[in-house]
Amino acid sequence: MNTLQQLLPFNPNKKYLSNNDVNLAIQINRFDGGGVVIGLNFRHIVADTAASIGFIKNWAKLNSSDDSSIINYKDVVVDCTDTFPRNKEIPSYARRINEWQRVPECVTKRFVFDGSKVAALRGEIMKQETSLSLNQYHRTRFEAVSGLIWGALIDMDREKNVGSTCIAAIPVNLRNRINPPLPEDCVGNLYHALTCTATKSLARSISESTKMVNDDFVRKVYQDGGDVFLNQYREAVEEILKGGAGTNNYYNGVRLFGFTGVIRLPFYEPDFGWGKPVWSTTAMSHSNIAALLDTCDGNGVEAWVGLPINDIPKFEQDPSILTYASFIPSYRSRI
């Protein structure tokens, strides 16, 4: 992680952001062997993951062509304030959560689930759900791997703190959830964070929660200036931070663990003229957050898991993590 951060214009994990921080910074790294690494820092207040890849994709197009008309600029900046009215209170609560997650004792490690392991995991989940008389459904790679990590955390927490609860937070891209849909490249933070509670099938819990986010859901939550969303967000933040930090990173006996996924977003597609990327990854390090990305072949999952330093050894020894994850990068995954 420290090596990756050296390839960026500035450390993306510093605890406090000032008004003087730039919205976008780029660092081009050239190596003696001919390799090139492009490091980008986006301020989340300007762009979420979908907007970031949209920028990179359009930048690559312009870099390899003299025809600026290949970019539809009307799809980049879209006025959606009718659906998502601005609310000045939201950033202050988001900043409090952001600062809480950037704890110095956090350790972030990479776990690689190659394509064959992910396929086996998805098959195993289907068998389990069949035995539980649940509707058969081939869970997505994101749902399968997120459910596996979530289950490992639940088992770990129960072993050392009986009665604890681990809640999963899942961001959902809203661009294609409303009618009419917004352009996939439009700039902004157009996602909604859901919380999921554990059921018999963790992957199914994630799937069912995200399915709830449709056009009716979005318009109900964000209508009237977003009061419904703001009230829910305020209550959640106050509950999480009530009484300050607890032991072992628990808050009132609850661990809130976030999953952020860029799986199936075209991070391996941009071509600046010297070929497509062999590796695209993140250098973010937050406590109780896992970033899930595609592997180079598009079949596996690369998971960067951030946990308090005392939790990492136990998490690494979880039987399910040992079964499906690899800790030593393979050449094929280009990691």
pLDDT tens readout for residues 205-239: 999 999 999 999 888 888 766 777 777 767 766 76
Q: Tell me the average pLDDT across 141-156.
A: 95
Catalytic residue list: 44, 271
Who wins on pLDDT, 255 or 283?
283
The residue type at 296: C
pLDDT at 260 over 60: yes
Task: Assess contact for 125 and 142: CB atoms under 8 A.
Answer: no
**Dist CA 179 CA 215 (whole Å):** 6
Q: Look at the pTM and tell me if it is higher than 0.75.
A: yes
Q: Tell me the average pLDDT across 312-327.
A: 94
pLDDT at 246 over 60: no
At 84, is the pLDDT very low, low, confident or very high (cuts 50, 70, 90)? confident
pLDDT of residue 315: 95
**Dist CA 229 CA 227 (whole Å):** 5
Q: Tell me the average pLDDT across 162-170.
A: 80
- If phi over 0 gives left and psi between -120 and 50 gives alpha, with beta otherwise, what is residue 196? beta
Average pLDDT across the chain, whole number: 84
pLDDT at 328 over 70: no
Q: Tell me the average pLDDT across 86-97.
A: 65
pLDDT of residue 99: 63
